[in-house]
């Protein structure tokens, strides 16, 4: 195997993807300029080679996987396109970010300006680990380079020839999963503010046991990811709006994530997260962040 892959950036997902690709014989590079010590440690543990700048990553890669918060997707594409023009290297650019189809098409236009191939991708699931592989949906006229990574710690599925199709799948999926998390959290906070959470919880356990179990598993641990999920909710809202549907569902979800990002739990990372935190502890802390008292 002789695949040279650049991953930008070595966050939780990017580093995990890098690790499984390295384990499957790929040479994986990343840019460490401006990255935190945690990101540097992740990259090193994953076996990724840290390079000084984007220009070096472009020159050392046959394919670049962009995996970072959606707000950074277009700025990164512009930086990579400029690096392609400067270095005269044009690796395949795969945008794996949680962006709307419209944003994906804008990124494709930027990369196309540098005469580089483009693949639209959307990641379904969490970081790869032993026994688990997330699914990368991809779309575009030439998805073969990404499809070649299928089975290398990730699953790759073709969503069709249209740029934006893979991003559309991701947006609709995350609208359900992360949107549900925010609805669960908001309902529990509202019940807490009204002094009704114990009553609500007994009813949930009695009639919606699986929902109560899911809340217990997810709601206490959302703050660590909330800040970077705000942009994803905005992209989902834009996707719904472009499809002629109300966008307010996920605009409100973004507001909820902004609230959780104010929590003192938000300073945690997935590596440092307190997995012993209870749902009661979390909801009480979240409710204290709400400025307006609940109306009777």
Give the residue-averaged pLDDT of 80-98: 98
The pairing of strands 118-124 and 135-139 is antiparallel
Q: How far apart are CA 229 and CA 255, in angstroms?
A: 10
Higher pLDDT, 259 or 291: 259
Using the predicted structure, report yes or no on whether residue 43 has a pLDDT greater than 60: yes
Preceding amide of 9 cis, omega within 30? yes
Using the predicted structure, report yes or no on whether residue 1 has a pLDDT greater than 60: no
Using the predicted structure, report yes or no on whether residue 27 has a pLDDT greater than 90: yes
Q: How far apart are CA 43 and CA 47, in angstroms?
A: 6
Give the residue-averaged pLDDT of 103-122: 98
Where do the DSSP E strands lie in the chain? Answer: 4-8, 27-31, 49-51, 63-66, 92-95, 118-124, 135-139, 155-160
pTM of the full predicted structure? 0.93
> What does the chain come to in residues?
296
Label residue 296 by pLDDT band (50, 70, 90). Answer: very low
Q: How far apart are the first and last CA of the chain?
A: 65
- Residue 2: per-residue pLDDT: 59
Label residue 295 by pLDDT band (50, 70, 90). Answer: very low
Using the predicted structure, report yes or no on whether residue 241 has a pLDDT greater than 80: yes
Among the residue ranges 41-45, 176-180, 244-248, the one predicted with the least confidence is 41-45
Nearest in space to 227 (alpha carbons), one of 193, 188, 260: 260
Tell me the pLDDT of the chain averaged across its residues.
95
Work out the percent of the chain whose per-residue pLDDT is above 70: 98
Give the residue-averaged pLDDT of 235-262: 97
- Residue 33: per-residue pLDDT: 84
- Residue 154: per-residue pLDDT: 98
CB 266 within 8 A of CB 277: no
Nearest in space to 249 (alpha carbons), one of 174, 167, 165, 164: 174
Work out the percent of the chain whose per-residue pLDDT is above 90: 92
- Residue 293: per-residue pLDDT: 44
Question: What does the pLDDT look like over 168-205, one tens digit per residue?
Answer: 999 999 999 999 999 999 999 999 999 999 999 999 99
Residue 1, judged by CB atoms within 10 A of its CB (0-12, 13-18, 19+), counts as exposed
Would you state the structure tokens that stand for residue 253, as one six-digit string? 């979800």
Residue indicated by tokens 């209870």: 278
Using the predicted structure, report yes or no on whether residue 136 has a pLDDT greater than 50: yes
240: CB partners within 8 A, 6+ apart: 175, 246, 247, 249, 250
Output the CA angle 117-121-124, nearest 5 degrees. Answer: 165
- Residue 37: per-residue pLDDT: 85
Label residue 269 by pLDDT band (50, 70, 90). Answer: confident
Residue indicated by tokens 């893979």: 166
- Residue 83: per-residue pLDDT: 98
Domains plus CATH for the chain? 4-161 (3.40.50.720), 168-287 (1.10.1040.10)
Using the predicted structure, report yes or no on whether residue 111 has a pLDDT greater than 90: yes
């Amino acid at each position: 195997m002789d695949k040279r892959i650049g991953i930008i950036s070595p966050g939780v997902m990017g580093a995990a993807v890098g690790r499984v690709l390295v384990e499957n014989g790929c040479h994986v590079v990343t840019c460490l300029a401006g990255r935190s010590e945690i990101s540097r440690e992740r990259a090193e543990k994953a076996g990724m080679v840290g390079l000084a700048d984007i220009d070096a990553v472009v020159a050392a890669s046959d394919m670049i996987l962009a995996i970072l918060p959606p707000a950074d997707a277009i700025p990164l594409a512009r930086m990579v396109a400029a690096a392609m023009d400067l270095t005269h290297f044009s690796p395949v650019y795969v945008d794996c970010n949680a962006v709307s189809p419209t944003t994906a098409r804008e990124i494709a236009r930027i990369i196309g300006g540098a005469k580089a191939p483009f693949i639209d991708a959307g990641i379904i699931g969490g970081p790869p680990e032993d026994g688990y592989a997330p699914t990368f949906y991809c779309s575009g006229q030439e998805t073969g380079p990404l499809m070649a990574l299928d089975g290398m710690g990730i699953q790759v599925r073709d969503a069709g020839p249209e740029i934006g199709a893979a991003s559309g799948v991701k947006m609709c999926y995350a609208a359900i999963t992360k949107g549900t998390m925010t609805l669960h959290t908001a309902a529990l906070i509202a019940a807490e503010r009204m002094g009704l959470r114990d009553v609500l919880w007994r009813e949930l356990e009695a009639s919606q046991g699986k929902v109560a179990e899911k809340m217990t598993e997810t709601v206490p641990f959302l703050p660590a990811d909330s800040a970077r999920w705000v942009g994803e909710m905005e992209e989902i809202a834009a996707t719904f709006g472009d499809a002629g549907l109300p966008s307010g569902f996920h605009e409100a979800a973004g507001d909820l994530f902004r609230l959780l990002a104010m929590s003192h739990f938000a300073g945690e990372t997935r590596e440092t997260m307190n997995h012993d935190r209870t749902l009661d502890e979390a909801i009480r802390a979240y409710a204290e962040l709400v400025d307006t008292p609940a109306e009777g």
